[in-house]
Chains A and B, each alone.
Chain A
Amino acid sequence: MIVAERKPLAEIIEMVQDCKKILVLACRGCVTVCSAGGEREAEILASLIRLGLKKAGKNAEVFDASLVRQCDKEYIDGIDQFKGQYDAIVSTACGVGVNFIANLRPNDHVFPALNTTFFGGSAEQGIWSEQCAGCGDCVLHFTGGLCPVVRCAKSLMNGPCGGSVSGRCEIDPEVDCIWQMIYDRMGRLQRQEELTVSAPMRDWSTSRHGGPRKQVREDLTV
């Protein structure tokens, strides 16, 4: 899922300080699961914005609502139901959601409540870690399912750098060296031999280096 966290409150209050009617719009997708921008967090944020603006001597109506997701046109169109009730939207979705509102609602002011951090997962309550960078050319079949693109600080494709010490990355002794993990795992699975084959040069144009990406599925378009 997409993982995010709330921006510092003062930053959000500053964004909306001149707004009179504010809709804090939650997303019931990824950001609900990572407890950053679901209905509960939007209700809390709306309350904090009310208190923050009051403290600044400003009068504003602040209310919260939610959409199933903010990354599909059909749900964004649902914002029509709040017509006339807001002059600005504070979206608690990820950056995709905020972009979608901006794309599809040319006359609406929209502000981001979250910092979108990464694609990740949670192995322990309250802790998320990055697992994939969406590089567009997945190599997990070569690496036993562990991603060297995002989990290696240098995105190395052919084993660890010289800084790997006792299974830890040289950037931080708390960070696992993913190449050590790949090596150990491939060994456990009796696939270590596969690691002797050099990975070919990567074509990074499928990643962010080739400009904004788009995917068209002819079988699904109407």
Chain B
Amino acid sequence: MSFTPDIRLFSCHYTSQQSCADEGHELQQLNFPENVKMTRVVCTGKLEEITLLKAFEDGADGVYVVGCPADGCHNVKGSQRAAKRVEAVRSAWVSLAWKRNGQKCFFFRADCIRNSSVLLRK
């Protein structure tokens, strides 16, 4: 049975500029999957754990956060903060041994939309 995961992407303002540029044509050219819903945030460091969890409660199969490189964040430590929150949710997931629709929930940390687009297609 084919399964198309519902994936939510949270991307920081700076990272998503690239993806929103040219009315999203660049994303299309990159063959960015359509089942990924993107939410743009001012900085991934502003993302709260509860926002990621609510996405799962809302039916997401996977949640995915993309921000600046950890050592090159526009807001200095935003990406590092985000990585810690993703890790907190991920470890809660591990402790619940949670799987949905037979698929493991997954978290990516990637430096830019370009990389993540490749990852997602895999």
Contacts and interface: CB of A to CB of B under 8 A. Distances in A.
Indicate, yes or no, whether A interacts with B: yes
Interface of A: 8-10, 13, 40, 43-44, 47-48, 50-52, 55
Given A44-B49, A44-B50, A47-B50, A55 B98 contact: yes
A48 B96 contact: yes
Given A40-B48, A44-B49, A52 B54 contact: no
A8 B56 CA distance: 20
Contacts of A50: 57
Nearest to A13: B96
A22 B4 CA distance: 33
Given A9-B96, A40-B48, 15 more contacts: A8-B95, A9-B95, A10-B95, A44-B49, A44-B53, A47-B50, A47-B53, A47-B57, A48-B53, A51-B57, A51-B96, A52-B96, A52-B98, A55-B96, A55-B98
Interface string B34-67: 0000000000000011100110110000000000
Interface residues of B, number: 12
Interface of B: 48-50, 53-54, 56-57, 92, 95-98
Contacts of B53: 44, 47-48, 51
B96 A43 contact: no
B45 to A, nearest CB: 14
Nearest to B95: A9
B50 A43 contact: yes
Interface centre among B57, B92, B97 (most CB of A within 10 A): B92
A51 B54 CA distance: 10
Contacts of A47: 50, 53-54, 57
Nearest to A9: B95
Contact of A48 (B48, B92, B97): B92
Contacts of B92: 9, 48
B50 A51 contact: no
24 contacts: A8-B95, A9-B92, A9-B95, A10-B95, A40-B50, A44-B49, A44-B50, A44-B53, A47-B50, A47-B53, A47-B54, A47-B57, A48-B53, A48-B92, A48-B96, A50-B57, A51-B53, A51-B56, A51-B98, A52-B96, A52-B98, A55-B96, A55-B97, A55-B98
A8 B94 CA distance: 11
Contacts of B49: 44
